[in-house]
Structure 1
Amino acid sequence: MIAFLLLLLCGLQGTVLALRGYCTASQCYAIFLGATNFKGAQNKCQDFNGNLLLFLDVEEQGHLLTDLRGSFWYGSPEANVQNCTSFSVWEGENVTTHTIPCGNQLDGYFCQYPNADPCGAIPGGADAQVMYTAPMGFVMNTSRHFPVGTLALAQKTPRYPDAKYLCFESSWLKAPWNCEVLDGGCEQSCNSTSGTCACPHGVYLHANLISCSDDPCDRCAHKCHRPTRACDCHAGYELDPDGKSCVDVDECEEMDVCVDESEECVNIPGHFKCTCRDGFDLEEGKCVDVRICAKCEHMKCVKSNGVYACECGEGFKVSPQDPTKCVMYCDQQDCLANCISNPDLEERDMHQCFCPDGYINDIRNKTAYCTDINECEIQAQCEHNCENLFGSFVCSCNEGYELFDEYMCVHPDEPDWTPSEPAKPDLRPATLPSYVKAGSILGIIVFVLLCLVLLYFLIRNLAKRCGSLELASLKGPDMDIFYLQQVTTETYKRLSFDKQSRCDSQRL
């Protein structure tokens, strides 16, 4: 590709310069002046991979035909190759098309070239202007796409350019580039060994790295102290050991500039900026921690006083142990339980339900409720006074005593007692129920009675079948030893039959 670019640029230097040109993303159009016939115009366009213009739309006409006068070749020859197409234009007026002998001499011709791998525009500085010159020789002041080989010159002052660029494979190469291509873009000469521009003895290489100057201050990248001819740098930069270049100072490494733990330092040329760390968002000029929002169990997150916190759905509250989790919550005597829907269980007046700590599940009319447990009625939860709360309880002491370890009361005058700050009442989750429901007690009693009745009938049946119950242990040395043995159903029937026969023999 470099060889092709070298050939293109060197060849075009000897061509007739174009009057003007314009490039789109896919094609470049150029007007060339010089008396020539149709065949000569066609050959000159084809010398550099182009053709005579076939068609020009309204947009291209506006860029190319303004203030243009004369007759120009374009298009392809007619079938008889005797007559060719041309057009005449007079100072931007309507174009008139003609068919004339191909051997006639006209004022010029229109060429079009494919624009492969074009470059975009170079952002100019605050005061710098950029001039683009296509390899065909025309200046492109209105184009937005530039062909391979285009030279761009960024310049603030007429004496020295700020930089020079060459379009190559959709990218701009900043001078100095390869010395084989237009001497690397150098003003004087290019050193192929070092790949830099060179200047004669006693002359300094300008700060733009392509021009030569006899003023030592012109070599300074930023600024110069005229009395001493010494280079200096703008704020945020420091002078390079070469005495002319300026190197950016990384404030993030040399200084502790971002003091907030939610921020991190990012170095930029000549300065720095503090940005929010991962997990923090910039809101109202401050970095706010939003990491907790991704962990909220109920996917609800709200901002209060500049801080994000999780929220829970109805019937739940944020867990005091984990601010990202939700626990069931009830602030009254009875609340609806949190149940897993199961029609089969609900039909039998049974539910798979859950209640907050300090509440017990209670089913009323096939509806599950959570009823508060009165911990103060269960047992002595507190040494002095107990106050029941929804889902918990709190202890307090009589006058003259202080609460210790949440439920004990200690008098300050007791030996080895060290006064302490008054303890705040602490809500603890209930561990024991305050009552057992009457229905549960009734169910237990009925179950025990059924077991006793079954046991009675079993003993009575055995007594009728065997006559009487004899204890082998009371018969002296003739003690029967019984072993537990796993038996099958058939073995059980056989043993039962043998046992019955034995009882019948004993009756005899």
Structure 2
Amino acid sequence: MGDLTGLFVFLLTLLAQAGGIEPSSGFCTGTQCFAAFRHASEFTAAQDRCADRGGHLMTVRSSASHDILSVLLGSVTGRYWVGLRLAAGCPDAAAELRGFQWVTEDRESDFSNWPPGVDDSCSSPRCVSVSPEDAFQWTPEPCEQHLSGFLCEYSFRDPCKGLAVAPGESVTYRTPMGFAGEDVLLLPPGSTAVRMPAETKYVCYTQRWLPAPWSCEIQAGGCEHGCTVTPRHEPSCFCPPGQTVNPKNNVTCEAAADGHDPCAALRCAHACYRDGDSHACLCDHGFKLAQDGRSCVDVNDCGDARQCPGENFKCVNSVGGFQCVCADGYAARSGLCADVNECASFPCEYKCDNTPGSYKCSCDKGYKEDPTSPDRCVLHCGKEECAAQCDPNNPFQCFCPEGYVAAGETPVVCIDMDECFSSYCDQGCTNTFGSYVCSCSPGYTLVEGFRCVQSEEDSGGSGEAATSAAPRPAPTRRPSGVSAGGLGGIIVCTVFFVLLVLFLAHRVLNGRGKMESGGARKAAEDEAHGLRRVTRDP
């Protein structure tokens, strides 16, 4: 089991790099493999495709590596990129490699194959190709030119020797780079071998060939139909209904003996395997057997910390499996999870500091982070009185933090408001700098930050008062910024309104007095002239 775990950890990253276009030919020698790709590409794209599989464009620094070109391109035509380029400056005929360097960033070479009369001017092309049509001479090409293909080089450790072959047998090998062959002396880890006619399979791991089935995560364990894990945590191949696993190689499927399928009566939801002299149900990887012995339920693969061992990786569980992805704040680069500089997208209103996997916003003096939006800043005083923030182009347009009011003219200051004076709280209230705290008497519960509701279980007068610094009720909120000119205007309007009311009251009272005095004079004059009201008897 230890071998399988190590194999999984090693090959998961290796196989994740594979994919894309397949090589047209390949060759391995010592601890290096070379591959030719017939795919039209410019120089940079070719280099990226080599890097996707853990390699780089081929270097030709010896006559031995020059001979490998014939193996890779002996039967094809066209021009292919190799890893030689002029990074900067102009070609220098007197310098080693004429000033060019390999993509491995060195200029060492025991071999060169420049064509005669090569251009040494500054306008000379800066990348190099080879072709069998001119004896693989190093021909400068414009780097943006799309050539017929490119050559890749891969290095590795702990290779496996080729398997011994008995008379009547043959072995076919396939490397992680995507090319296959039979006459191979050394193969890189992750290579697979198929021995015919038995159809037994093997995978190379640290100089050893492990027989199939191996870990189900790696090429389905080498199984022909499907791979799962037994209750003893061992990989096992299974076959479709009506077929059983070949006991000679444990990977291929064959018709059930005498047409009798021993698994048919079990009605297994996923798969059936041989368990000693009998058969039993088992589930695909990522599932476990239910209590009925035949159904399967999903398991949390991410419960095992070894599933995604790479630094800054995290495991994401899915139905029947899992994925290894980069943790938040990291992005995949060349098979690793590298930190993302979030500050490059300017997420903060003021200052941004990048941190591993995240970032932190900070504010200038006189401001603090907005509790509702940490990437923004709001005015902050933190004491009873502080200077207002005024528009430099308009000194009368000043702003104060929430819970403060502007006062004075020059300079304008912000004075803490006593919100408790406005009876924002049902019961107790404590003023704080820029805010206030509501509290309730024992036996009451504070709700919505300002109301006190009698508790279901009265405390009987014991216990401490409940407090909360919740925001004040919306109808009584005050603006966070009041200009000095605006405050003066409010005062002038109030005085004018009071004077207007007094004036109108005086006019009304004065008019009523005149009417009463006029009526009295009229009665006196009537009496003086002997006038009497005459009534007629009925």
State TM-score, norm by structure 1. 0.40
Larger-Rg structure: 1
- Which structure is higher in RCO with an 8 Å CA cutoff and minimum separation 6? 2
